[in-house]
Structure 1
Amino acid sequence: MLVTNTNAVRAAYPRELQHIMSIAEAQRTRDWLSAWPMLSRAPTPLWPLPDMAQSLGVAGVFVKDESKRSALGSFKALGAPAALVRLVLRAHPAWEPKAVLQGAYAEALRGWVVVSATDGNHGRALAAAARDAGVRCVIVLHKHVSAERESAIAGFGAEVVRIEGNYDASVAHAAALAREHGWQVVSDTSYAGYEDIPRDVMQGYGTLVDEVLAQHARPFTHVILQGGVGGLAAGVASYMWERFGARRPTLVVAEPRQADCLLQSALGGRAANATGTVDSVMAGLACGETSPLAWRFLQPSIDVFMTIEDDDAIDAMRRLARGSVRDVPIESGESGAAGLAALRVLALSQAHRAHRTQIGLAADANVLLINTEGATAPSVYRELAGLDAEEVLRLQRLHGERLGANP
């Protein structure tokens, strides 16, 4: 399903939104995180996929590969750690931001406890950041989170609490634990009375846009973003809107058909809930409730909201994993491949021919996609992609060596 957002505007970035998220704060966050040993010192790759672009009838397709961000394997390494640093600084404004995740204040933070719900990647990033800062961490997992992802979170010293229900139930449980014990929730979704930390998480995601614009001189005409609760989309859209104003790229948000909370928000004109079962193979996007704070940014900036099928995401994973003569193989998890899945549906489906024309996805289009995660659950990746992650990385190295020998 696809909905054209009639509330999207082409204008300067509103001052009231700039007071919440801004390029300046994204760049400040990037500077703070630069000292965290868990993150790659270099920007993540921006891979061109010329064969894919040719097959889809556009000028360029580019993938920002967040699987390379850190050993954590996803873009979430930019969100939860940024929020934790800002949380600490609100209590201790004189402390050095870069030193927080280096453990410089671990003794003073010994009594702190942070808690969060997660589908996997956010919790893993928060657990790693809390460990390095010297903060106790409790992570709430719902029944659909894989044992592999639980093990990865526990490996960073977090205490894991399992519950029945879905992601939204785990969010409610984490909030209840925080109220009962006096802990601090570090969530990537907002709710009534809780906006500061989700804003800090979203602000951290602006780091990757800061990198992209330094890596690619030509403007992108289209950016396709994953849905979920809306945090990534809001973080990227706000940066693009402030940077380019009325000339911002066409922004598309894609989410699983059965977890369509953002599309339903577009239809209703307010933050809404999903109408489906919220049990997609795209685990990181299987969210039933839109973040109200994220929606404040998405409603006036996203041009198109669309849903995709699980099979579309799986097919995109496989195409990315295998690469082609000119396209580098990319390790992309179920949620990471959602952007390419949406682009292929837009470009190739007869049902969307009119929509493709309407949004200007023409022969001169340059499209940015974000691979939000790698094989964060290796056995799931192997089953869906048909290759081990190690094999994909081997093919990626061979592709680089071949191009290096034949520029």
Structure 2
Amino acid sequence: MFNVAENNFYIGQKSSIFNVEFAKQVRKFHYQLEDYQPTPLISLPLLAEKLSVRSILVKDESKRFGLNAYKALGGSYALGRLLAQYLNIDIAEIDLKTVATKLDKPLVFTTATAGNHGTGIAWAAQKMGQKAVVYMPQGSPLASAERIRRLDAECIITDVNYDDTVRLANKTAEENGWILVQDTAWEGYEEIPTWISQGYMTMPDEAIEQAAAMGADMPTHVMLQAGVGSMAGGVLGYLVDKLGAGSFQTIIAEPATADCIFRSGTSAQGDMVNVSGKLNTIMAGLACGEPNPVTWPVLKDCSNYFARVDDNVSALGMRVLGNPLLGDTRVISGESGAVTLGLLYQLCSDVSSKDSHKELGLNKESVVMIFNTEGDTHPSRYRDIVWNVKY
């Protein structure tokens, strides 16, 4: 059902681009967005007691901007940086309410997405008076495409996998003079993916602030999900700078069928390893076969463990969060959002996992922080999993 492997390349090196200093600038930008407010940090004390850990803290990104996912944090910050660059002003000087009036015509931003990133780009473009064209890989649910179209963006579902869809979006952008806003990087295309990952640092900045306000101890364990690793790298870089590398253990989880981060972290030299094919998994937002080279160094240097999990682990997490013990708060979590809670539950409750549980140092003193990165973005499948016990 899952495999956990220690990161032999860990050195605890702080990042020069994902840290508290940049997070302050990012959060200041997000304050400008009229819909901005911190998402909840939810404590699940009864589940923590059941799993024999001190506390479980869930950052619930299903409440972000009314979009049911966290991705607009990165997309909006990247668009803000691009518009500031286009107008030759500093990001701190940009006024999102008037920026469209300073352009002769709207800029066109394009991207490839499994759903949530494209929604974030479409939302940000709409808020800033710009245009968006979004490409989705084969098998993408029509509900996700329609969600993007309702934000006044054009959305095209392709007949290739996610990584090939990224290449198609890039090619189309070059041919049309559009601006590609992609959350993964390659040689010659690093600046925009860096901005996107920096945009995600608002999440942990809020979470640490909220944990302190509620009197909670700082996390001893942080569990992060990865597709290409953009979110995981940005969040981990911030936390290492804020809390200190040796103060907590980090587990990076991803689908077993799209385990490029796991394979990279367990390779002979720690080099990036790509995974090809259809990458079939219910965790559509994590179905990525090529690590982001911008954030891979952070994951390589600062992750303690890598995990690859089957779909039933994510489905379990969705059911546990959506049907809490009486007294705990209900959390609506989608397939990509619940994988870390599912893994935690398995590690702490499955007798066959006792060796991994012990190795990770999970015990009655553990404070576990996870990030619910999406809600029920695919409502019919959510019901199939939570009501009908699919997967």
TM-score by length of 1: 0.89
**Which residue in 1 is equivalent to 2:344?**
343
**Aligned pairs, how many?**
380
**Which residue in 2 is equivalent to 1:71?**
66
Cα 1:351–1:93 shift into 2, 3 Å? farther
Q: Does residue 311 in structure 1 map to residue 312 in structure 2? A: yes
Residue-by-residue CA offset, 1:79-104 (whole Å, 9 max, x unaligned): 10011101111222336657554353
- Asked whether the 8 Å contact 1:188–1:198 carries over to 2, the reply is yes
Following superposition, the deviation at residue 109 of structure 1 comes to 5.9
- Asked whether the 8 Å contact 1:229–1:262 carries over to 2, the reply is yes
- Asked whether the 8 Å contact 1:4–1:303 carries over to 2, the reply is yes
**Which residue in 1 is equivalent to 2:258?**
259
**Partners of 1:144 and 1:294 in 2: CA distance:** 27
Task: Name the SS of the counterpart of 2:155 in structure 1.
Answer: strand
Task: Name the SS of the counterpart of 2:124 in structure 1.
Answer: helix
Task: Name the SS of the counterpart of 1:306 in structure 2.
Answer: strand
Cα 1:275–1:341 shift into 2, 3 Å? farther
- Asked whether the 8 Å contact 1:143–1:162 carries over to 2, the reply is yes
Following superposition, the deviation at residue 289 of structure 1 comes to 1.0
Q: Does residue 160 in structure 1 map to residue 155 in structure 2? A: yes
* 1:44 aligned partner, one-letter code: T
Residue-by-residue CA offset, 1:23-73 (whole Å, 9 max, x unaligned): 11111111111121233x3x2111111121112111111101011112111
**Which residue in 2 is equivalent to 1:32?**
29
**Which residue in 1 is equivalent to 2:242?**
243
Task: Name the SS of the counterpart of 1:31 in structure 2.
Answer: helix
CA RMSD of aligned residues (A): 1.8
Matches within 5 A, 1:229-308: 229-268=228-267, 269-274=270-275, 277-308=278-309
Task: Name the SS of the counterpart of 1:251 in structure 2.
Answer: strand
**Which residue in 2 is equivalent to 1:371?**
372
Task: Name the SS of the counterpart of 1:115 in structure 2.
Answer: strand
Following superposition, the deviation at residue 158 of structure 1 comes to 0.8
User: In structure 2, which of residues 119, 122, 126 is the aligned counterpart of residue 124 of structure 1?
Assistant: 119
Following superposition, the deviation at residue 248 of structure 1 comes to 3.3
**Partners of 1:386 and 1:103 in 2: CA distance:** 46
- Equivalent pairs: percent with the same residue? 35
Following superposition, the deviation at residue 355 of structure 1 comes to 2.3
**Partners of 1:109 and 1:136 in 2: CA distance:** 13
Following superposition, the deviation at residue 129 of structure 1 comes to 0.7
**Which residue in 1 is equivalent to 2:175?**
180
**Partners of 2:201 and 2:381 in 1: CA distance:** 29
Cα 1:86–1:58 shift into 2, 3 Å? same
Following superposition, the deviation at residue 106 of structure 1 comes to 4.2
Of the structure 1 ranges 345-354 and 70-79, higher mean CA displacement relative to structure 2 is found in 345-354
Following superposition, the deviation at residue 330 of structure 1 comes to 0.8
**Which residue in 2 is equivalent to 1:9?**
11
Of the structure 1 ranges 149-158 and 370-379, higher mean CA displacement relative to structure 2 is found in 370-379
**Which residue in 2 is equivalent to 1:146?**
141
Task: Name the SS of the counterpart of 1:300 in structure 2.
Answer: helix
* 2:176 aligned partner, one-letter code: H
* 1:221 aligned partner, one-letter code: T
Cα 1:180–1:91 shift into 2, 3 Å? same
Task: Name the SS of the counterpart of 1:79 in structure 2.
Answer: helix
- Asked whether the 8 Å contact 2:68–2:376 carries over to 1, the reply is yes
Following superposition, the deviation at residue 247 of structure 1 comes to 3.0
**Which residue in 1 is equivalent to 2:50?**
55
* 1:271 aligned partner, one-letter code: M
**Partners of 1:257 and 1:36 in 2: CA distance:** 37
**Partners of 1:5 and 1:351 in 2: CA distance:** 22
Matches within 5 A, 1:168-207: 168-207=163-202
**Partners of 1:149 and 1:334 in 2: CA distance:** 14
Q: Does residue 81 in structure 1 map to residue 76 in structure 2? A: yes
Q: Which has the higher contact order (CA 8 A, sep 6+)?
A: 2
* 2:64 aligned partner, one-letter code: R
Q: Which runs of 5 or more structure 1 residues have no equivalent in the other structure?
A: 388-407
Following superposition, the deviation at residue 182 of structure 1 comes to 1.7
**Partners of 1:98 and 1:77 in 2: CA distance:** 20
**Partners of 1:146 and 1:112 in 2: CA distance:** 27
- Asked whether the 8 Å contact 1:229–1:285 carries over to 2, the reply is yes
Q: Which runs of 5 or more structure 2 residues have no equivalent in the other structure?
A: none
**Partners of 1:181 and 1:128 in 2: CA distance:** 21
- Asked whether the 8 Å contact 2:163–2:290 carries over to 1, the reply is yes
Cα 1:142–1:222 shift into 2, 3 Å? same
Q: Does residue 110 in structure 1 map to residue 105 in structure 2? A: yes
